[in-house]
């Protein structure tokens, strides 16, 4: 959504990290998530795609780098919900949350990356 401040914050951080981000605002985020086959329990604020993978939510860039370096047989990765301290969701040096892989060998979801744990 064009009015989502935390989505804009994540995009700004992604650009600072060197990613070329193209934004497509939509009022119908549900169809985007359904079209990307993201399991409902892994939905978050925004959906991105990169190099054939779905990236859902406020993804830490270290997890994104791991995904692109290792190229696992998964459909994508997600930071479910909107955990405080994740990129775009405020500064919290002690934030703890998980990145979940889904699709392919990960099925409905398995831990791919952990932050602060």
In tens, the pLDDT along 14-57 reads: 999 999 999 998 889 999 999 999 999 999 989 999 999 999 99
Quote the pLDDT of residue 108. 87
Looking at residue 93, its pLDDT comes to 87
Percentage of residues in the chain with pLDDT exceeding 70?
A: 100
Residues 66 and 111: beta-carbon distance below 8 Å: no
- Looking at residue 6, its pLDDT comes to 87
What values do phi and psi take at 113, rounded to 5? -160, 145
Distances (CA, A) of 39 to 12, 35, 59, 104: 26, 11, 16, 13
Q: How far is the CA of 29 from the CAs of 24, 35, 46, 84, 117, in angstroms?
A: 11, 10, 8, 21, 30
User: CA distances (Å), 14 to each of 11, 25, 28, 31, in order?
Assistant: 5, 17, 23, 24
Residue 61 has a pLDDT of 96
Taking a C-beta distance cutoff of 8 angstroms, is the pair 59, 87 a contact?
yes
pLDDT in tens, 89-98: 998 989 999 9
Closest CA to 80 of 64, 62, 94, 101: 101
pTM reported for the whole predicted model: 0.93
């Amino acid at each position: 959504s064009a009015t989502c401040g935390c989505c804009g914050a994540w995009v700004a951080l992604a650009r600072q990290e060197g990613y070329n981000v193209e934004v497509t605002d939509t009022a119908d985020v549900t169809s985007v998530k359904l079209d990307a086959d993201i399991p409902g329990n892994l939905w978050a604020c925004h959906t991105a795609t990169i190099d054939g993978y779905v990236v859902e939510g406020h993804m830490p860039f270290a997890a994104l780098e791991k995904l692109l370096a290792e190229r696992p047989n998964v459909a994508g990765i997600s930071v479910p919900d909107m955990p405080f301290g994740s990129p775009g969701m405020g500064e919290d040096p002690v934030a703890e949350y998980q990145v979940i892989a889904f699709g392919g060998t990960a099925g409905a979801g398995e831990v791919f990356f952990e932050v602060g744990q």
